[in-house]
Amino acid sequence: MGRSGGGGTMISKFLTLTVGLLAWLPLLGDSVLSVGGGSGSTGDTITVPVNLENDVEVQGWSFGICHDPLNLALLGAVDGATTLTVNGGGPPDFNQLSVEADGLTVGVVISFLGTSILPVGSGYELLLVDYELTGIPDVAPIVATTCFCDTLGVPAVATLLVSGGQSIVPLQECGEFTIAPPPDFCLDMVCEGGTADASLSWSECSTFDYFLLHRDGELISMFDAGIFEYLDLGLDPGSYFYQLIGVVFPDPTGTPEVLVATCEVQIIPVTIATIDPPSGHYLGGTQLTITGTGFLAASDTTVNLGGIPAEEVTVQDDTSLTCIAPVSTSGIGPVNIDVMNSLGSDSVSDGFLYGFKRGIVNGDTRIDVGDPVFQLEWLFLDGPAPDCIDAADTDDNGMIDIGDAIYVLMYLFRDGQPPAEPFFVAGLDETDNDPYDCTP
């Protein structure tokens, strides 16, 4: 019996102690106390609210807010809209706000007599807090936080809501501040010359307020933000130096940032200097080398002979190209040569001569045994006539007969004399002592 009575006493004492401890501990609730955040650059001031969403009627509250002292500075705080009117349209009966360098504390009793409470609701603005962003990021942004804390003040102020005389610990949401690194101002410009115009384009890392463009030290244009190209038209041949000055005001009241990008262009017109060889067979196939300037000014350089596009145009460099002469569509005689691209052109009047070669009569551009055979068939077997009759007068004696075919055979196989000019180089009949013509 005594043992039993002793055990009951111990259990009774334990229950009494446990109930006492539970009565001392605050209750956990579902109300939410949150502090806002924001983003900006070093030196910016951001005002954030402390808001309450409560699922119970509230008679008062207390909390402390700590912040990251390395990246944030607490400038001050004022009562929020809810706090200013919570007590029947006026402020609380007790309202203590303490602002220190390392944080702030708040203690509020809405009404000593219990005549006013904060009803269940959301979006209640309890406090407005000003922070300065003091962190200086390098490349990546800095993320700094403000959170509710129970370590400020003596004694320390706890984060609590009071409802029905009971202390309730609300859910708590921290604030987050993002401090962006300073703008990375850069300005790059690309310039491309041509035959008469210069094309300029540029890019930026951050937006500039405006640009100034100089050519050889002279201001030629000014651009607002958002313009990234310029075409400088009608330039004379020569070298031109461009400066693009970008101006931006990071702080409207401060000193602007100024960056300069430069480039140099050459204006080289399309010109024709030499054409080698200056003549070729009317059947085409002659490889020409043309020198001049501006051939690389654009990638679409072409060559025309007498209005007919040349074949296999190959631009060697800005001053030299090769091509194959096309078949003449106008017989023999001089034709214009044109070199052109999308940026310019040049033309040489009578720059190339289409001619013939004596002894070559069978429709190609090479003399061989086929030519005398073709001529004999024409003379004696009713074969087709040569396109160029004058070429059949191999010895240029003013007569076309079997002797012309024999003349070619002797040249080819018996070390005979070559045909009369034009032979080694295609050309025209300069003697004009025969009735024959060359009208292919």
> Domain with 248 in it: what CATH number?
2.60.40.10
Residue 133 and residue 100 in one domain: yes
Residue 318 and residue 340 in one domain: yes
Residue 57 and residue 172 in one domain: yes
Residue 39 and residue 161 in one domain: yes
pLDDT single digits (tens) 59-110: 999 999 999 999 999 999 999 999 999 999 999 999 999 998 899 999 999 9
Residue 216 and residue 160 in one domain: no
According to DSSP, the residues that pair with 262 across neighbouring strands are: 243
Identify whether 262 is part of a domain: yes
The residue out of 219, 243, 266 marking a domain boundary is 266
Residue 438 and residue 377 in one domain: yes
* pLDDT in single tens digits along all 440 residues of the chain: 344 444 445 444 433 433 343 344 567 779 999 999 999 989 999 999 999 999 999 999 999 999 999 999 999 999 999 999 999 999 999 999 999 889 999 999 999 999 999 999 999 999 999 999 999 998 889 999 999 999 999 999 999 999 999 999 999 999 999 999 877 778 999 999 888 889 999 999 888 999 999 999 999 999 999 999 999 999 988 899 999 999 998 777 778 889 999 999 988 899 999 999 999 999 999 999 999 998 987 889 999 999 999 999 999 999 999 999 999 999 999 999 999 998 889 999 999 999 999 999 999 999 999 999 999 999 999 999 999 999 999 999 999 999 999 999 999 999 999 999 999 999 999 887 778 888 87
Domain around 309: 271-353
Residue 214 and residue 337 in one domain: no
